[in-house]
Amino acid sequence: MRRLRRCLQHWMIRSLGYWNPRNSRVCGKSGTQGALTGVGLSIGYPLALNGSPAGLSVMSAAPGGPAEKAGIMSGDVILAIDDTSAQDMDIYDAADRLQGPEGSSIDLTILSGADTRHVVLKRERYTLNPVRSRMCEIPGSEDSSKIGYIKLTTFNQNAAGSVKEAIKKLRENNVKAFVLDLRNNSGGLFPEGIEIAKIWMDKGVIVYICDSRGVRDIYEADGASTVAASEPLVVLVNKGTASASEILAGALKDNKRAVVYGEPTYGKGKIQSVFALSDGSGLAVTVARYETPARTDIDKVGVTPDRPLPASFPTDEDGFCSCLRDPASCNLNAARLFVRS
């Protein structure tokens, strides 16, 4: 059990351009600090094989990182790294190639939709704040309904504390409900995902850890860490929502704590341990999988939302507040935002 729990600390391999498979023990730690050096990409293997382009799928681009500033988005495909084809490239080989000293450059061939382009990125050091928040209002009554919007971009070591602080500040503005935006959040530290679930839940299963013999561990909320278990809650997800984000979204959905909006999530349901090999490479071995409280195995399928989001729905806090002020501009029924059906 101790071995499995150690694996859970590092199971989300973040390919942000600085992870080194020669030191697999720090693979989770190096991708979960506040200050990062790299190109700001989280990558995975494409899930569809029938006719889809070969390469590595972009799960998300870190806000403020070089990749995002170059216009690389979730769903794009990396076809080549420095003129080396990514068609059969191992994800850990790709992570090794993406890393490098601050200020050095890397050339990526990116497929965005039907368009292929070359992008030269300069590796940078940047600060990744896991949380952005804002108070928004729905007009139409004498006392406008106030909603607290929280954008969670990653599960680093500061994530749970930052979410609690955001809730505290929003409550000072008398918010009546919350929206938790997990879109393009590709995961991070497993324990932070569990702690953030406990912030919103006072009871219930968060996730089951299973292997071929059945359930090996159960994570539950007991009320000890609860901060906001009563206010209405909406969770936003998309295909860039992965790993720890899916654990959180699945827990809040299955326990009927939140209404989940968006599109099916990425579908990363395997727990892997990385072992260093003598030639300096790394071997990822699947040691378990996670299942949502409803016993749904989401690997390669994802969490299915309760309701879709309009195609015109904004992706940032300013756009979200504007959408609430003028729901017709984004095809949103703001009055029924927190209604499950």
Is pLDDT at 205 greater than 90 in this prediction? yes
Q: Residues 147-170: what's their mean pLDDT?
A: 93
Q: Where in the chain is the domain with CATH 2.30.42.10?
A: 35-127
Superfamily of domain 131-336: 2-enoyl-CoA Hydratase; Chain A, domain 1 (3.90.226.10)
% of the chain at pLDDT higher than 70: 84
Q: Domain 35-127 has what CATH class? A: mainly beta
Q: Where in the chain is the domain with CATH 3.90.226.10?
A: 131-336
CB-based burial of residue 88 (10 Å sphere; 0-12 exposed, 13-18 middle, 19+ buried)?
Answer: exposed
pLDDT in tens, 46-97: 644 444 557 888 877 877 889 999 999 877 899 999 989 998 887 768 888 8
Q: Residues 116-145: what's their mean pLDDT?
A: 82
What residues act catalytically?
243, 268
pLDDT in tens, 263-299: 999 888 887 777 778 887 777 788 889 999 999 998 8
CB atoms within 10 A of CB 124: 17
Is pLDDT at 133 greater than 50 in this prediction? yes
pLDDT for 142: 47
For residue 228, give the nearest of 183, 167, 149, 270 by alpha carbon. 167
Q: Residues 108-136: what's their mean pLDDT?
A: 90
> How many angstroms separate the CA atoms of 116 and 228, rounded?
45
In the chain, the largest separation of any two C-alpha atoms, in whole Å, equals 69
CA 313 vs CA 25, 73, 133: distances in Å? 40, 16, 17
Average pLDDT across the chain, whole number: 82
